[in-house]
């Protein structure tokens, strides 16, 4: 699917590269991905990767067995350190997996919250009503992301999917916004303390666990090599 998007969605002269997770098993189809490299998780969960010189577009493929919020947070810091811009976030939904395991809705809901484009994949055997109800849960809340169907591993309009248009609910990759630290307290000198706005999915409890905890998707997937 990614190889098809790159082939049909980029312009002549563009130099793309693809970064796969170091934990991802090698696959013969990797040869179809231009400039394929690997990213890994460093100390403290930091995102680590090297971009090939001359690359015009970098596609980072997340680790589909791990918490997406942790990966987004680490990627945000990595981009900030290099003054790089996130042009687009694409989420691929395994409809058959979610339809079979409703508890995974929260996992994909988090992904879609951060996404500009949502690709509905593996719909074979899934009732059309379920697909409609699934998308309605987001369009009904006025999510601005673009929903597109995948058929036989391809999308209808790769150029539309890769258009760098921000449609995500999250502002984590936008310019930092500041809010009043505590609106209930007023300094006697009328000074107002400001703090950077924190994305709801990044919030943590006093013990360090996230406020929004997600199911472990790996519990619902075949073991690697299985």
Range of the domain at 102: 2-174+210-220
Tokens standing for residue 78: 């990595």
Asked if residue 124 is part of any domain, the answer here is: yes
Q: What is the CATH number of the domain that holds 68?
A: 3.40.50
pLDDT at 162: 96
**In the predicted structure, residue 219 carries a pLDDT above the cut 70:** yes
Question: Within its chain, how far is the Cα of 140 from the centroid?
Answer: 21
Number of domain units in the chain? 1
Asked if residue 110 is part of any domain, the answer here is: yes
Instruction: Tell me 31's DSSP state.
Output: G
Asked if residue 32 is part of any domain, the answer here is: yes
Instruction: Tell me 210's DSSP state.
Output: B
Over range 121-125, report the average pLDDT: 97
Over range 162-166, report the average pLDDT: 94
- List the single range of 44-48, 55-59, 78-82, 181-185 with lowest mean pLDDT: 181-185
Q: How far apart are CA 42 and CA 26, in angstroms?
A: 20
Q: How far apart are CA 173 and CA 25, in angstroms?
A: 29
Burial of 168-195, coded b for 16+ CB within 10 Å and e otherwise, reads bbbebbeeeeeeeeeeeeeeeeeeeeee
Over range 127-150, report the average pLDDT: 98
pLDDT at 132: 98
What does pLDDT average to over the chain?
91
Q: Which residue is associated with the tokens 């991802």?
A: 24
Give the model confidence (pLDDT) of 87-109 as tens digits.
999 999 999 999 999 999 999 99
- List the single range of 77-81, 169-173, 175-179 with lowest mean pLDDT: 175-179
Question: Within its chain, how far is the Cα of 9 from the centroid?
Answer: 19
Asked if residue 225 is part of any domain, the answer here is: no
Q: Hey, which of 156-160, 171-175, 196-200 has the most confident mean pLDDT? A: 156-160
Asked if residue 195 is part of any domain, the answer here is: no
Over range 19-24, report the average pLDDT: 95
Asked if residue 146 is part of any domain, the answer here is: yes
Name the pairing type of β-strands 57-60 and 47-48. Answer: unpaired
- List the single range of 142-146, 171-175, 183-187, 190-194 with lowest mean pLDDT: 183-187
Instruction: Tell me 188's DSSP state.
Output: T
Query: What is 147-162 written as a DSSP string?
Result: EEEEETTEES-HHHHH
175 confidence band (pLDDT: 50, 70, 90): confident
Asked if residue 199 is part of any domain, the answer here is: no
Contact criterion met (CB below 8 Å) for 117 and 145: yes
158 confidence band (pLDDT: 50, 70, 90): very high
Q: How far apart are CA 203 and CA 181, in angstroms?
A: 15
- List the single range of 74-83, 130-139, 195-204 with lowest mean pLDDT: 195-204
The residues, ordered by sequence, that sit 6+ positions from 107 with a Cβ below 8 Å of its Cβ are 68, 214, 215, 217
pLDDT at 66: 96
203 confidence band (pLDDT: 50, 70, 90): very high
**In the predicted structure, residue 176 carries a pLDDT above the cut 70:** no
Asked if residue 107 is part of any domain, the answer here is: yes
């Amino acid at each position: 699917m990614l190889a098809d998007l790159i082939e049909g969605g980029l312009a002549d002269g563009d130099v793309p590269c693809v970064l796969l997770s170091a934990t991802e098993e090698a696959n013969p189809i990797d040869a179809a991905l231009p400039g394929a490299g690997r990213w890994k998780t460093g100390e403290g969960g930091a995102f680590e990767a090297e971009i090939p010189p001359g690359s015009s577009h970098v596609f980072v493929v997340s680790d589909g067995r791990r918490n997406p919020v942790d990966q987004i947070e680490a990627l945000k810091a990595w981009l900030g350190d290099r003054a790089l811009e996130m042009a687009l976030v694409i989420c691929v939904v395994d409809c058959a997996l979610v339809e079979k395991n409703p508890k995974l809705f929260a996992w994909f809901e988090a992904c879609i919250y951060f996404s500009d484009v949502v690709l509905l994949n593996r719909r074979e055997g899934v009732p059309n009503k379920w697909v409609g109800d699934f998308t309605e849960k987001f369009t009904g809340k006025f999510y601005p992301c673009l929903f597109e169907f995948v058929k036989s591993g391809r999308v209808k309009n790769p150029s539309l999917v890769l258009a760098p248009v921000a449609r995500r609910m999250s502002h984590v990759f936008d310019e930092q916004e500041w809010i009043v630290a505590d609106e209930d307290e007023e300094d006697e000198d009328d000074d107002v303390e400001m703090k950077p706005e924190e994305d709801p999915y990044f919030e943590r409890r006093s013990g360090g666990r996230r406020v929004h905890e997600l199911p472990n998707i790996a519990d619902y997937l075949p073991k690697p090599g299985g």
